[in-house]
Amino acid sequence: MEISYLLNSGFLIRDEKTLLVFDDYEDPAGIVDAAYDKGDFDRLYIFVTHSHFDHFGTHIRAYAQKTNQYIFSSDLKHTKRVKIFPTKKIVYMKHYTEWQDDAIKVWSYDSTDVGTSFLVQTPSGKRVFHAGDFNWWYWDDDTPENIELAEKIFKRQLKRLNKMEADVALFPVDGRLGASQEKGAIEFAAKTNIKSFVAMHRVDYPMWEPSKKFLSIKKDLPIWSPIVPGEKRIFDGERFLEE
Ligand SMILES: [Zn+2]
């Protein structure tokens, strides 16, 4: 699988002739444009996990013609921005629902913020998990009540992901959380059966260096923390390779 970083939580993932685009709110390196124009794909699916500005950009409307399906979290339904999209090409997913066509299968999960996270199975049987804004949002300076609540909802949601299998998992490691930036990632990696981990949602922060605690969870878990728009890795099932 080929994974290209767009910005924030935005990625383009290619598995053979299938393209999956996630949370493409901005694509400064023009990655999706280039792939779209090249046209070297059979299927294109565009996912948006929720309506926040840093996840949902309306420029993805320009890809409608060759897009098989826009797969949107149901909270997008109530936004004005969605009105410019061709209704026939949109499927809205609520939490804990499934959708499939003759090529891919999608499961939605709840988030700890607005919207959903997605697990997607490609035609070759590979699985990609994109967390959206699902995370243990541990803000040190928050009230004790809010800190407790954030933990509660994160752990409740995480139970639904128990032993979830994914080849590639994209998950927030948000620099703004400071020392707590890995808290969610550590729990998530411990409870799921993921084969690799991609850190996201850390614009303006340097590359994430996993702590010893994180590294001790799953020995040799391949990790990638993209920073520069357009960065790309190939995941061969065991490692992230640069081209
Ligand atoms: Zn976000």
CA–CA distance, 126 with 141 (Å, rounded to integer):
40
Confidence (pLDDT) at 159: 96
**Average of per-residue pLDDT across 113-123:** 94
Confidence (pLDDT) at 91: 98
Domain count, the chain: 1
| Band (114; pLDDT cuts 50, 70, 90) | confident
Confidence (pLDDT) at 243: 82
Ligand 1 centre to CA of 23 (Å) is 9
Confidence (pLDDT) at 113: 80
Ligand 1 centre to CA of 52 (Å) is 6
Ligand 1 centre to CA of 112 (Å) is 11
Tokens matching residue 200: 């996201």
Indicate if the pLDDT at residue 219 is higher than 90: no
Residue 186: strand, helix, or coil: helix
| Band (99; pLDDT cuts 50, 70, 90) | very high
**Average of per-residue pLDDT across 60-79:** 97
Q: Tell me: the pLDDT tens digits for 152-164? A: 999 999 999 999 9
CA–CA distance, 54 with 11 (Å, rounded to integer):
13
Indicate if the pLDDT at residue 112 is higher than 90: no
Contact 10, 229 (CB under 8 A): no
| Band (204; pLDDT cuts 50, 70, 90) | very high
Compute φ and ψ for 122, nearest 5 degrees. Answer: -85, 170
Ligand 1 centre to CA of 201 (Å) is 7
Contact 47, 20 (CB under 8 A): yes
Confidence (pLDDT) at 111: 87
> Which residue is listed with tokens 């970083």?
5
Task: For residue 41, give the CATH number of its domain.
Answer: 3.60.15.10
Confidence (pLDDT) at 20: 98
Ligand 1 centre to CA of 54 (Å) is 6
Ligand 1 centre to CA of 53 (Å) is 8
**Average of per-residue pLDDT across 169-177:** 97
Q: Which strand (E) or helix (H) includes residue 212?
A: helix 212-217
Compute φ and ψ for 23, nearest 5 degrees. Answer: 45, 50
> Within 13 Å and on the Cβ side, how many CA atoms surround 205?
18
Beta-carbon count within 10 A of 87 CB: 8
Confidence (pLDDT) at 187: 97
Ligand 1 centre to CA of 102 (Å) is 31
DSSP conformation letters of 139-170: -TTS-HHHHHHHHHHHHHHHHTTTT-EESEEE
| Band (218; pLDDT cuts 50, 70, 90) | confident
Contact 188, 169 (CB under 8 A): yes
Q: Specify burial of residue 58 (Cβ count, 10 A radius: 0-12, 13-18, 19+).
A: middle
Q: Which of 6-15, 118-127, 182-191, 214-223 has the lowest mean pLDDT?
A: 214-223
Across all residues in the chain, what is the average pLDDT?
Answer: 96
Ligand 1 centre to CA of 214 (Å) is 22
**Average of per-residue pLDDT across 9-25:** 98
Ligand 1 centre to CA of 202 (Å) is 10
Q: What residue numbers bound the domain in which 62 lies?
A: 2-241
Confidence (pLDDT) at 239: 96
Q: Residues whose CB is under 5 A from ligand 1 (ion)? A: 54, 133
Residue 73: strand, helix, or coil: strand
